[in-house]
Chains A and B, each alone.
Chain A
Amino acid sequence: MADVTRPLSLAAHRDADEIDRRNLDWYIDKAVQVLVFIGGISAIVFVIGIFVFVTAEGLGFLVDAFDFGEFFGSPRWKPTSEYRTTYGILALIAGTASVTGLAMLVAIPFSLGAAIYIAEFATGKTRETLKVLVELLAAVPSVVWGFIGLVIMNPLIIETFDVPVGLSVLNAGIILGLMAAPIMTSIAEDSLKAVPDRYREAAEAMGATRCQLVFKVVLPAAKNGLLGAVLLGVGRGFGETMAVLMASGHSINLPDSIFDSVRALTATIAAELGETAVGSDHYQALFTIGIFLFVITFVINLTADLIVRGIRKG
C-alpha cells in the first residue's frame, strides 16, 4: 500500500519559474500548428495552381489565335487540317452535353429511387447490404467502365437496335449513368437521412402512411440535398474522361440521334494531347479546353455546395 499522505513526486519536476518558461512542448505545439496550417492551405494552393498552370500552358493560344466566335460557335475541330486549321468546340460541347444529359436521364430517377428505398423502406441487413453494394459500385474505375462499354454494351446495342455502330451517345450515356448513379445515390441517401426524425414522428403521429411520409414530408425537407446530389452527378458526368473516350465512338459530330457517335471535350484532350508538340497551337488549344472544363466544374461544384449549405443554415 502506498503512502497516501506523502506529496507526489511531481513536485520534483516542477520548478518555480516554469510558468514563465516556454518549454519544448510549447514550441512543438506552435510548430505543429504552423505545419498543419500548411497542410490546410495546400488545398487552396493546388486549386489555384491548377488554374494557373493550365492557363499558362494555354495562354499563347488565348492571346494569339483565340477567336471566341469560332471556338464556341463552330462545330469544326480541325487542328491538323492542311488547308485551314479550325478550333471550334461546338461539336465537342454537344457531345459532352448529349452524353451527360442522357446519363442524367438514366441516373437521376434510379439513383433517387434507390436512395429513397435504402433510406426509407429497407431495413436491417438489406439496408446494410445495399449500402455496401452502392459503395463498391462507386469504386469501379472509369477505365473499367469504358472497357465494359467497348466490349459488352457495344455488341449488345448493335444487336438489339440493329444499328451499324454501338459506340454512341446511347452507349456512353448508359455507362456514364451507371457510373454516376452510385455516388448520387449515396449523397442523396445522406441528405434523406439528415431529415430530423421528429419530422417523421410528427407525420406518423398524424396517421400518415409511409408513402405520404416520404412524398409530403421527407422529400420536400431534403430537396436541397437531393439537388446537390444531382448537381454533383452532373459535374462528375461532365468531367469523366476514360469511359466517355472508350464508349462514345469518338467522332466529331453534332448528334441527330442517340445512335450517333460523338466526341466529348475531355476525351478530345485525352486522345490528342499525346500527339501534339509542346507549345504548338493545337497543344495550347487543348489546354484552353482544359480551362473551360475547369471553370464549368468549378461553377457546378460551387453551386452544389451553396445549395447543400443552404439547408444547413435554414
Chain B
Amino acid sequence: MVEALREIAIDADMPSRLAQVTEPAQAKLEVRNLSIAYGGTPALVGVNLEIQENEIFGIIGPANSGKTSFLKALNRMDMFNSDMQVSGEVFFNGRNVRQWRNVYALRSRIGVVFPLPVGLPMTVYDNVALAPRLSGITNKAELNEIVERCLSRAALWDEVKDRLNSLGSLLSGGQQQRLTIARALSQEPDLLMLDEFSIAVDPVTTMRIEDVLKELRKEMTIILVTNLTQQARRLADRTAFFLSGSCVEVGDTEALFTGQVEDTRTADYIAGRFG
C-alpha cells in the first residue's frame, strides 16, 4: 500500500510527456544496456539491441541463458516479482517503458504467448473477449466480430466455432496454444512475443502456427524466442544468440546460419555442438 501511495504521489513529479517524445522513433524496440538480476544473482547482463518495425526477431540459446527474463523486462512484468531487478533502458515506440505512467497500457499493446499453453478457466469466447472487455468494449456485436476474427487468424475458428461455450482450459494442448495466440491477437498488439511456443505442441500444430506468424508479420513486430534453431531459421529475419546471461551476437538470420558469425560459440551452437 505504501507503494501505491508513493506511486500516486510521484505522479505529480513525472516529467511532462512532451519532454519525453524526443527519442528518435525509427526502431520499434530499442534495448540499451539491459541487465536483470534475481535477488542479486545476475540472469542477464548488458544487452544492447534494436528491433525494427514488422520484422520477426528470433532469439536462440540454451536453457537458462536469460531469454524469458529478457521478455519479462520488455513488458515490465518485473512489477509482479519483487525479486527481479531490472536496470538499463528499454524504448518501445521511442518511449522508455520505465516512464510510461500507465504500465497496463504498455502491456495491452504487447501480446505474449507462453511456453506452456494457458487457456484461462472461462469459455473459449470469454478467453478471446477478455482483452477487448478490459479495454472497455461491451458491444455484443463488436465482441462477436473480434472473437471470430482472432480465432480465425489463429487457425482455431473452424475447430471451436461450435463450442465457443466450452472451457478454454479444457481444450487440447495444441488448441490451447492457438487460443493463447488468439487472445494475444485480441489485444491488437504492436508487438507479439512468443516464448518457446512449440514446447508443448505437436509438430503439425507447430507448422500451422508458424504459417500464422508469417501472415502476422505484415501487421506487427514479432519476437520469437525458440529452443529450435531451425524454427528461427525458417521464420526470423534477424536472430540474436543468448548464452548464459549475455547476448553473444545479433545478426541477419541467413548470415548466422551460413557461418558468417563473429563469435565461434554462435556457430558451435547453431551446428548443435553444444546446448
Complex: A in contact with B (CB within 8 Å) = yes
Instruction: List, in ascending order, chain A residues with CB within 8 A of B5's CB.
Output: 34
- Of B40-48, B102-110, B168-176, B199-207, the one touching chain A: B102-110
Instruction: List, in ascending order, chain B residues with CB within 8 A of A37's CB.
Output: 1
What separation, in Å, do the CA atoms of A20 and B95 have in the docked complex? 11
Q: Which residue of A lies closest to B1 (CB)?
A: A37
| Segment 184-202 of B: residues with Cβ below 8 Å from A | 186-188
Instruction: List, in ascending order, chain A residues with CB within 8 A of B134's CB.
Output: 25
Instruction: List, in ascending order, chain B residues with CB within 8 A of A162's CB.
Output: none
Instruction: List, in ascending order, chain A residues with CB within 8 A of B66's CB.
Output: none
Given A19-B102, A20-B17, answer yes or no on A7-B188 (Cβ-Cβ < 8 Å).
yes
Given A18-B102, A23-B102, A37-B1, answer yes or no on A13-B135 (Cβ-Cβ < 8 Å).
yes
What separation, in Å, do the CA atoms of A4 and B4 have in the docked complex? 41
Q: Does B153 contact A (CB under 8 A)?
A: yes
Check B102–A9 contact: CB distance below 8 A.
no
Name which of B4, B153, B186 has the most chain A CB atoms within 10 A of its CB. Answer: B4
| Smallest beta-carbon distance A248→chain B, Å | 47
Q: Does B152 contact A (CB under 8 A)?
A: yes
Q: Does B39 contact A (CB under 8 A)?
A: no
| Segment 204-222 of B: residues with Cβ below 8 Å from A | 219
| Smallest beta-carbon distance B125→chain A, Å | 14
The 0/1 profile, CB within 8 Å of B marked 1, for residues 4-34 of chain A is: 1011111101100111111101100010011
Given A19-B100, A34-B1, answer yes or no on A9-B105 (Cβ-Cβ < 8 Å).
no
Q: Does B25 contact A (CB under 8 A)?
A: no
- Of B28-36, B83-91, B141-149, B261-269, the one touching chain A: B141-149
Check A21–B102 contact: CB distance below 8 A.
yes
Contact of B102 (CB < 8 Å), options: A4, A10, A26? A26
Q: Does A1 contact B (CB under 8 A)?
A: yes
Given A9-B137, A10-B146, A11-B188, answer yes or no on A19-B105 (Cβ-Cβ < 8 Å).
yes
| Smallest beta-carbon distance A14→chain B, Å | 7
Total interface residues in chain B, CB < 8 Å? 32
| Smallest beta-carbon distance B14→chain A, Å | 8
Contact of B4 (CB < 8 Å), options: A7, A9, A19, A30? A30
What separation, in Å, do the CA atoms of A33 and B2 have in the docked complex? 10
Name which of A4, A6, A17, A20 has the most chain B CB atoms within 10 A of its CB. Answer: A20
Name which of A17, A18, A19 has the most chain B CB atoms within 10 A of its CB. Answer: A19
| Segment 133-165 of B: residues with Cβ below 8 Å from A | 134-137, 142, 145-146, 148-150, 152-153
What separation, in Å, do the CA atoms of A239 and B17 have in the docked complex? 61
Check A10–B1 contact: CB distance below 8 A.
no
Check A4–B153 contact: CB distance below 8 A.
yes
> Total number of A-B contacts with CB less than 8 angstroms?
68
Contact of B104 (CB < 8 Å), options: A3, A13, A26? A26
Q: Which residue of A lies closest to B135 (CB)?
A: A13
Check A10–B4 contact: CB distance below 8 A.
no
Check A20–B100 contact: CB distance below 8 A.
yes
What separation, in Å, do the CA atoms of A213 and B229 have in the docked complex? 49
Q: Does B234 contact A (CB under 8 A)?
A: no
Contact of B187 (CB < 8 Å), options: A9, A10, A20? A10
Q: Which residue of A lies closest to B2 (CB)?
A: A37
Instruction: List, in ascending order, chain A residues with CB within 8 A of B187's CB.
Output: 10
Check B137–A34 contact: CB distance below 8 A.
no
Q: Does A136 contact B (CB under 8 A)?
A: no
Other than A3-B149, A18-B105, A19-B95, give 16 A-B pairs with Cβ distance below 8 A. Answer: A2-B149, A7-B219, A8-B150, A9-B142, A10-B132, A10-B146, A10-B186, A13-B137, A18-B102, A19-B100, A19-B102, A20-B100, A20-B102, A25-B104, A34-B5, A37-B1
Query: What are 17 A-B contacts defined by CB distance under 8 Å?
Result: A2-B148, A2-B149, A2-B152, A4-B152, A7-B219, A8-B188, A9-B146, A10-B132, A14-B135, A17-B17, A18-B105, A20-B100, A20-B101, A20-B102, A21-B101, A26-B102, A37-B1
6 A-B pairs with the lowest CB-CB distances in the bound complex, closest first? A37-B1, A10-B188, A8-B188, A2-B149, A2-B148, A33-B4
